[in-house]
Chain A
Amino acid sequence: MPAEGEPANGLLLAVGQLTKLFGTFAACDGINLDIRPGEIHALLGENGAGKSTLVKMLFGVLAPTSGQIVWQGQPVRIASPSAARKLGIGMVFQHFSLFEALTVAENIALSMDPGVSLSRIAKEASDLSHAYGLPLDPNAHVADLSVGERQRIEIVRALLQNPKLIILDEPTSVLTPQEADRLFETLNKLKAEGRSVLYISHRLEEVQRICDRATVLRHGKVTGACDPRKETPSSLARMMVGSDVAHVTAEGTSAKGAVKLEARHLSASARTPFAVSLKNICLKVHAGEVLAIAGVAGNGQGELFDALSGEYPVASDDVILISGKPVGTRGINARRLMGAGFVPEERHGHAAVSALSLSDNLILARSQSDRRAFLGGGPLGLIRQDAVKMAAKRISAAMDVRKSGENPPAGSLSGGNLQKFIVGRELDRQPTVLIVNQPTWGVDAGAASRIRQALVDLAKSGSAVLVISQDLDEIFEVATEIAVISEGRLSDIYPASDLSREKIGLLMGGMYGKTETAETAHAH
C-alpha cells in the first residue's frame, strides 16, 4: 500500500515503513499495513516473524525505531498503552494479565480510570458482556473461571474503552472449537458496528473463515497482502514459511504391541490452590501407538505430566506402570533408567536452563541414564565434556538444530530449534516410552512438522508415545488413539479415526461419556 501521498481516504490506521531494531536485529523491517473501518484484518506469520513486535508498537508498548503510524488521517506517536487506549485502540493479549484471587469486576477496575465505582464497573461489564454474547458474572473469582471465560474478561475490558480497533493476539489458541465459534460471532458483531479487528493468528483455517483481508509477515517483512478467501491454505502457508511445509505421514503406526505405559486409577491432589487435581485416570499406551491427550490448557495436563514423569511421584507404586513394572513412587531418573523419556511443556527453566550450553542441557536430562558414557572418575562424578559435546553435536545434526556457534547457551536458540534439541535429546536414546507435553507449543511450522514426524517415526519403530497437546491439528496429524482431559478427568480412549473435532470439543467441555458400553467397546 502506498505509505505517503495518500490523504485521509477513510483508512482507520495506516502504518508506513515501520521499523523496529533491537541492536542490529530488525524485528520489524519497513512494515506497511492499512486497516479499514469495519473489517477483520488478519496478521499472519510464524513465531518470530515480527507480529508481536508490530502490535506492541501499535499499542504503545514499544517505540518504533523509524516509520510512521497514521490514525484516522493524523500521524500519531503512541507513547504508552494508555495513549493507545485514548486513541481508541484496545488490545487482548495472548497471555492474560489477570489476578486470580480477585473478582472479574475488580480485575476490570484495575485497567480503568481510578474513581469509577466498582458497582458501576460491574454493571457495565455485565451489560456489555451480555450484549456481545460473552456472558460474564462480574462477581466471580477469576481462579474459578475457565480459560475461555478469562479471555472474555480481557475482551470486555478492551470493549469498555469503546475502541475503534481491537487487536487480538492468538485468541483461539486456548479455546475449545465451540468457544472459538462463539468468539467469531462476537467478532462479526463488532465488525457490523463498524469497529475494526486486527486478528493475529497462525491458524489458516480460522483466518480464511472470518478475515476480510490478511497481511503476512516473515522475518520482519511483509511477504504478502491478500484476501484470504481467495487463497488456499497451502498458498498462505507458503507466504508464511517461505517454502512448502513437509507433510507429516502417520501411516504404518497401526501395529500394536505390548502395553508399555499404563496408569491405573491414578489420582493426585492439587499441590497449590490454583492447580488441578487428577481424578481416577486410566490409560494404556501400547508399543507402536501414539496416544494423544487433547484438552484446553489448565485442565490437569501439567499435573498429569508431573505424575507420569515422576517429577512429583505419587503415593502408591502400582498406579503407574512402565513396561509392566510399578513405578508410582519412583523418581524421574529411575523411570528414565527403565527406558522412559520426557519432554515437558515449558522449555526455559524446565526442559532446559537458558543460561547453560546445549551440552550442559544434554547432561540435564541424561546424567543418570547415560552415566557410563557421560560420567567418569567413579564416585567423584566427573563430567566427560568431550563425550557430552559429541552427543550434543550428533543430536543437533540429527534434528537439524540451527544455532550460532558450536555449543551456544540454550537461551540463544529460537523456540523451534531449542524444542528440536529437547526432543532430539530424548529420541537419541531410543526410549521405549516417550511422554511429551505440548510438543510444538510456540514452535514455527517447519520445526513443528519435523518434531511431529519424529514422534510418529518413534512409534513406528516400536515405542509407546504419549502426546499431551492443545493443538487439534497436531493431534490429528500424529495420533493413533485420542483421549480428552477435562478438569483432571480423562475420557475414554478412542481410535483417532473414530473422532471428529466436534466430538473432541464436546469431550473438552467435560462430557466424558464414560459409559459401560464405551468402556467395553474399547477393551483391548
Chain B
Amino acid sequence: MRIELERRPDVSKLFSILSPFIALGLTLVFGGIMFMILGKDPLAALYSFFVEPLTEVWSLHELAIKAAPLILIAVGLSVCYCSNNWNIGAEGQFIMGAIAGSILPVVFYEWQSPLVLPLMMLLGMLGGALFAGIPAFLKAHLNTNEILTSLMLVYVAQLFLDWLVRGPWRNPGGMNFPETRTFDATAILPEMIASGRAHWGFAFAIIAAVLIWFMMRYTLKGFEITVLGQSERAGRFAGFSSRKMIWFSMLLSGALAGLAGIAEVSGAIQQLRPVISPGYGFTAIIVAFLGRLNPLGIVVAGLVLALTYLGGEAVQVSLQISDKPIRVFQGLLLFFVLSCDTLIHYKIRMMWYDLSDTASEGAR
C-alpha cells in the first residue's frame, strides 16, 4: 500500500481562513485528552493554561515580555522561509546577539551614558547577524545545507555563553554564581508603561513586524524574496541573485534574533546567565508557520505561543505537573497547523498496490 498526497484542483477560501483556528481547536482537544491521561480535570487545566493568564494586568505584561522575542525572531525567519532559506538556528543568533550587546554593560560597565542602550541594541543586531552570516557564507559559497549548519551553531552559541558566564565574564562580586554583573540602570531597557514590567522589546517587535509586512507587500525587494522562494530559476530570469538573497535573508533574520536576544537580556533578565532563553528561537519557528509567514499573522501567533509559556508556568503551580506539557502543546500546535494547511491544498489518496510495482512506478 502507498499513501499519496494529491493536489486539490481548487482550494477552499473558507477553510484557508479557518485552518489556524481548526488547528488551535484540535490542539485544545488533544491537550485536554493529555491532561485527562495525567489524571487532571481537563477543563480546569485548560482554563488555567489558556484563560487565567489573561485575567490579570501583571500577567498581560508577562505575555508581552514573552511574545516580544517570539515575534521579533519569527518575523525575521518568515523572510528566510519565504525565500527558501531554512534558518533554524535563531536560538543561537539570539544568544550571540545577547552576548554582543552585553559587551558594554559587562566589560565597560563603568561607562554610563544615554548612548549605551542604543549601542547595545545595535551591537546585539550585529552579533546575531554575524553569527547568521556563518551558515549564509557556507550555503552561498560552499553549497552547504543551512539547516544543518545553523542548527549545529546553536549548540556552539549555548556553550560559548556557558563558558563566558562561568569564566571571563563571571561577576567578581557574585559569590561564584555563574552570572555576569547586573547591568547598570543606563543599560536596562525601560518599561513601556507604568502599570507593569513589559519593556520596549514588545514595541520593537511590533515595529519590525509592520516594516517587514510593508516590505513584503509593497516593495520590489519583497517581490524578489517571494520569487526566489518559489523558483530560483524564475528569479534568475528576473535578474535576481539567489546568492545575494541567502545573505540578505540570513543576515536580516540573524539581526532580528540578535535584537530579540539583547532586548530580552537588557529588559527582562538584566544580566547574562548560562541559560537566557526557554527555547524562543525554536518556538519562533512554530510562530512563523502559525502566522502563515505573514508578519501581521506572526504578531497574533506570537501572542498565542507566549500564552502557552505562561499557561505552562501556571499549571506547574496550580496542578503540580512538570513543565513538559508546554513542549507537548507547542508540538501539537505545530503539527496541527502544518497538517491542516497541507490538507487544504492536498487530499490523501490510498493506493493499493503490491510492492513489486513500485520499482517501475518510481522510475516513471
Contacts and interface: CB of A to CB of B under 8 A. Distances in A.
A344 to B, nearest CB: 6
Interface in A81-104: 81-82, 93, 97-99
Interface in A316-356: 331-333, 336, 342, 344, 346, 349-356
Given A80-B353, A353-B227, A355-B230, A383 B237 contact: no
B219 A349 contact: no
Interface centre among B226, B236, B237 (most CB of A within 10 A): B237
A387 interface: no
User: B interface, how many residues as a size bin?
Assistant: 20 to 34
Contacts of A82: 353-354, 356-357, 360
A346 B234 CA distance: 10
A350 B233 contact: yes
A30 B39 CA distance: 60
Contacts of A309: 237
A23 interface: yes
Contacts of B356: 82, 113-114
Given A111-B360, A356-B226, A363-B223, A349 B239 contact: no
B221 interface: yes
Interface string A348-383: 011111111000100111011000000101001111
Interface in A44-100: 79-82, 93, 97-99
B110 interface: no
Contacts of B357: 80-82
Contacts of B231: 349-350, 353
A332 B239 contact: yes
Nearest to B354: A82
B361 interface: yes
B324 interface: no
Nearest to B351: A80
Contacts of A380: 219
A211 B226 CA distance: 49
B220 A367 contact: yes
A383 B238 contact: no
B226 to A, nearest CB: 7
B10 interface: yes
B141 interface: no
B359 interface: yes
A283 to B, nearest CB: 22
Nearest to A381: B220
B9 interface: yes
Contacts of A353: 227, 230-231, 234
Contacts of A364: 227, 234, 237-238
A392 to B, nearest CB: 14
Interface centre among A23, A99, A367 (most CB of B within 10 A): A367
Interface residues of A, number: 45
A332 B220 contact: no
B363 interface: yes
Interface string B328-364: 0000000000000000000000001110110111011
B281 to A, nearest CB: 29
A18 B25 CA distance: 43
Contact of A311 (B236, B354, B359): B236
A22 B363 contact: no
Interface string A412-438: 000000000000000000000000000
B237 A25 contact: no
Contact of B218 (A25, A80, A93, A382): A382
A258 interface: no
Contact of A110 (B239, B352, B360): B360
A219 B171 CA distance: 79
B231 to A, nearest CB: 4
Given A81-B357, A113-B356, A114-B359, A383 B223 contact: yes
Nearest to B219: A381
Contacts of B219: 377, 380-383
A93 B227 CA distance: 32
Contacts of B239: 331-333, 336, 367-368
B161 to A, nearest CB: 38
B37 to A, nearest CB: 41
Nearest to B231: A349
B363 A311 contact: no
A367 B231 CA distance: 17
Interface in A107-160: 107, 110-111, 113-114
A346 B230 CA distance: 15
A364 B231 CA distance: 12
Interface centre among A93, A375, A381 (most CB of B within 10 A): A381
B364 A346 contact: no
B237 A110 contact: no
Contacts of B233: 346, 349-350
A346 B364 CA distance: 20
A399 to B, nearest CB: 19
A81 B237 contact: no
A398 B10 CA distance: 29
B234 A350 contact: yes
B218 A360 contact: no
Interface in B153-210: none
Given A110-B359, A110-B363, A382-B218, A23 B9 contact: yes
Contacts of A377: 219
B220 A344 contact: no
Given A25-B9, A360-B223, A349 B363 contact: no
B237 A111 contact: no
A356 B220 contact: no
Interface in A8-37: 22-23, 25
Interface string B24-67: 00000000000000000000000000000000000000000000
Contact of A356 (B10, B227, B354, B364): B227
Nearest to B357: A82
B237 A311 contact: yes
B329 to A, nearest CB: 32
Contacts of A80: 353, 357
Contacts of B226: 356
A377 B239 CA distance: 20
B9 A22 contact: yes
A383 B360 contact: no
A351 B363 contact: no
Nearest to A369: B239
Contact of A367 (B10, B238, B352): B238
A198 B218 CA distance: 53
Interface in A266-321: 309, 311
A442 to B, nearest CB: 18
Contacts of A25: 9
B240 to A, nearest CB: 9
Nearest to A332: B239
Contact of B234 (A22, A111, A331, A349): A349
Contacts of A352: 234
15 contacts: A80-B353, A81-B357, A81-B361, A82-B353, A332-B237, A349-B233, A350-B231, A350-B234, A351-B237, A353-B230, A353-B231, A363-B220, A365-B237, A365-B238, A383-B223
Given A97-B364, A332-B239, 12 more contacts: A79-B352, A80-B353, A82-B354, A82-B360, A98-B363, A114-B359, A352-B234, A353-B234, A356-B230, A367-B220, A380-B219, A383-B219
Interface of A: 22-23, 25, 79-82, 93, 97-99, 107, 110-111, 113-114, 309, 311, 331-333, 336, 342, 344, 346, 349-356, 360, 363-365, 367-368, 375, 377, 380-383
Interface of B: 9-10, 218-221, 223, 226-227, 230-231, 233-234, 236-239, 352-354, 356-357, 359-361, 363-364
Top 7 closest pairs, chain A to chain B, by CB = A381-B220, A333-B239, A349-B231, A97-B364, A111-B360, A23-B9, A350-B233
